[in-house]
Amino acid sequence: MGSEQGSAKPPLAERKHRERVVHGHTLVDDYAWLREKENPAVPAYLDAENAYTAAAMAGTVELQKQLYDEMLSHIQETDVSVPFRDGGYWYYSRTEEGKQYQTYCRKRGSAIDTVSALTGEEEIVLDLNALAQGETFLALGTMTVSDDGNLLAYSVDNRGFRQYTLRVKDLRTGEMLPERAERVGSVVWARDNRTLFYTVEDEEQKRQFQLYRHELGRLHTEDALVYEEADERFNIGVGRTRDDRCIILESASHTTTEEQFLPADRPLAEWTLIAPRRDEIEYYADHRYGRFYIRVNDRGRNFRLVTAPVETPGHEHWEELIPHRDEAMLEEVDLFAGFCAVWERRQGLQHVRVIGFPGEAPTLGAEREIPFPEPVYSVHPHTNRIFETGNYRYAYQSLVTPASVFEYDVAAGGQTLLKQVPVPGGFERERYASKRIFVKAPDGVEVPVSLVWRKDMREAAGNPLWIYGYGAYGYSLPVGFNSSRLSLLDRGLVLAYAHVRGGGDMGKAWHDAGRLMRKRNSFTDFNAVTEALVQRGYGAAGRVAAEGGSAGGLLMGAIANLRPDLYRAIISHVPFVDVMNTMLDPSLPLTVPEYEEWGDPNQKAAFEYMLSYSPYDNLAARSYPAMLVKTSLWDSQVMYWEPAKYVAKLRTLKTDDRVLLLHTNMTAGHGGASGRYDYLKEIAMDYAFLLREMGVV
């Protein structure tokens, strides 16, 4: 197993003492200088850490190559997605062996055509491989085709800082039009096929705050500023309703929303407010036959469904269609001409009810629930662009079932498998098992845990155990198939996903129970899961690893401080570990909007609570697990200096000889490498670290 002893000497960052007093507490930050990206000493230090990581991992080079080859063997490199119809075309994407990125394509076809019958000439809508030539990074932001099918508006980021440039392509000729805008978020066409609405971010705070209207052929300097969001807690986004009749402008904080609408065929008309914002109330509207259907949490945290006429959309005119239920989170309502698909989460699992509309009146008719066959799974809506349809597409996968696309026949009630992602390389689904269990937290709350293992390698209390967690923003931890993780399962690891409080796995109340002044529940939940899994024989004590990223990296930092004895190794991706210094700096991107998730440290009680768990501030002279901490220089969400400072400080305090590694991707952002082959190499490094530290190799 790796250790500091016998390896290259780790770099030591210079200490430049800095302290400040906040609410009577002295905060010491000797590594604040690492924020100075333009200071030559900063990239020099990051390069030194990368060199040390490479030296410390030198003994795993062959293993990394083996893991990479294994993972690649489980990917069908040349493949095609399930086509979907939109207007007079069927759209799809394809990948080709040796190419890093997708190519988006289309063929002409009508409603009566079947996917297999599409024999027309392929048109290239957008080739990301061509756009990536000469770039070290490429990410697609948005792409949307005009109603007549002639023009494509799309945005790309070629640095990783999530700043996207908007361009427009004429799909008839392949010509790039002169249209260009910077720092663009959401984009939507009006029905005239020549008017674009797009949102723009504030360059300093990376908050989408302005909506512009652009007419093709005019200079972008002449674009009309339609709306500006003044409240720093809110971001804006713009989109079309499913029936394409309305454009919706949404202002949203983490806990509050407000929406305005515009007829899509009248881009110069005045915007109409649906309902004024009310603190702690979210609502989301869609349109059908002159009425809005609105999912709202005004009478309970788990949302209800109401409807109101377009002429009088305010909350005083809302009529209830689906009531709020404490036991079911109403996550989404997919609206169509003759039915709606109601997405609920009950006991941590998703359920989909398809409910008919007996007519244009706002009443619901007969319903069916789509059956799902496994104890642990993930589903989400697939692309459903046709409003007047009798079919509904959804995507299904589980920890042992590859990603699959189904089409549900609303009238008959049956579903057809359109495609399951092929997994070459000898994968046999029957060799693996998955399970959902519940573990009691210290306060008695039952925390769901999803598990997967290879059946013939399960050994009571003998397997190495890997546990993943996130637990923030009400985000429900997905439990989908990942062919790369076969390399862990086939080496005998039991994999566990801890659905801790702070996520949305058990509804809005589950989120509330793990944020603000109850955030510590996320950490104690995770540690309780770890202890219980070892006690129940899912893993061997001393052979337990944990992994998380971003807000899940905060989770990793907190559990390492609270119970370092539980873990042999931790992998932490772009971790949010410098909670106090970040949240006390409102000039940083995302800080002010994040007050609703973590708390406002300008308030003494919130400050002291956040300080009690901030990983950077609670590092101490003790033994820690082996750690691989990963970041990216161009991360716009968790700045690179947070993990860099964390590692620099931890090196001076840890009393063990276990390895501590910092790896910085110097050409990427929050999600790491953008190319699919490059990303596999990053995973191979993670797994090599994990397997070595757990004594598997």
Give the span between the Cα atoms of 642 and 550, in whole angstroms: 11
What fold characterizes domain 19-73+426-693?
Rossmann fold (3.40.50)
Contact between 591 and 583 under an 8 Å Cβ cutoff? The reply is yes
For the stretch 203-243, pLDDT in tens is: 878 899 999 999 999 888 899 999 999 999 999 999 999 99
For the stretch 445-474, pLDDT in tens is: 999 999 999 999 999 889 999 999 999 999
Mean pLDDT calculated for residue range 16-33: 97
Flag whether pLDDT at 139 surpasses 80. yes
Flag whether pLDDT at 5 surpasses 90. no
Counting beta carbons within 10 angstroms of the beta carbon of residue 327, is it exposed (0 to 12), middle (13 to 18) or buried (19 or more)? exposed
DSSP three-state, residue 595? helix
User: pTM value?
Assistant: 0.94
Of the given ranges (109-113, 235-239, 287-291, 582-586), which has the lowest mean pLDDT?
A: 109-113
Mean pLDDT calculated for residue range 73-100: 93
Which tokens hold the place of 661? 């590694």
Mean pLDDT calculated for residue range 126-133: 94
pLDDT computed for residue 301 by the predictor: 94
Cα angle, residue 56 at apex, residues 52 and 60 outer, rounded to 5°? 135
Name the DSSP letter for residue 478: P
For residue 35, count other CB atoms closer than 10 A to its CB: 19
pLDDT computed for residue 114 by the predictor: 58
Flag whether pLDDT at 423 surpasses 90. yes
pLDDT computed for residue 356 by the predictor: 94
Flag whether pLDDT at 503 surpasses 70. yes
Query: What homologous superfamily is domain 288-422 in, according to CATH?
Result: Prolyl oligopeptidase, N-terminal domain (2.130.10.120)
Contact between 66 and 697 under an 8 Å Cβ cutoff? The reply is no
Write the CA distances from 598 to 522, 560, 583, integer angstroms: 12, 19, 8
DSSP three-state, residue 44? helix
Average pLDDT, the chain: 94
398: pLDDT confidence band, cut at 50, 70 and 90? very high
- Strand runs labelled E in 389-464: 391-397, 404-409, 415-420, 432-440, 446-454
pLDDT computed for residue 151 by the predictor: 98
| Three-class secondary structure assignment of 564-584 | HHHCCEEEEECCCCCHHHHHC
For the stretch 527-584, pLDDT in tens is: 999 999 999 999 999 999 999 999 999 999 999 999 999 999 999 999 999 999 999 9
Give the span between the Cα atoms of 262 and 406, in whole angstroms: 34
Q: Which residues are catalytic?
A: 550, 635, 670
365: pLDDT confidence band, cut at 50, 70 and 90? confident
362: pLDDT confidence band, cut at 50, 70 and 90? confident
pLDDT computed for residue 590 by the predictor: 79
pLDDT computed for residue 512 by the predictor: 96
For the stretch 154-182, pLDDT in tens is: 999 988 888 899 999 999 999 999 999 99
Burial 352-387 (b: 16+ CB within 10 A, else e): bbbbbbeeeebebeeebebebebebbbbeebbbebb
Name the DSSP letter for residue 473: T
For the stretch 263-277, pLDDT in tens is: 999 999 999 999 999
For the stretch 621-674, pLDDT in tens is: 999 999 999 999 987 778 899 999 999 999 999 999 999 999 999 886 667 677
Determine how β-strand 349-356 pairs with β-strand 465-469: unpaired
- Give the residue extent of every domain in the chain: 19-73+426-693, 288-422
115: pLDDT confidence band, cut at 50, 70 and 90? low
Q: Which residues pair with 497 in a beta bridge?
A: 450, 468
Chain-centroid distance, C-alpha 249: 22
For residue 175, count other CB atoms closer than 10 A to its CB: 9
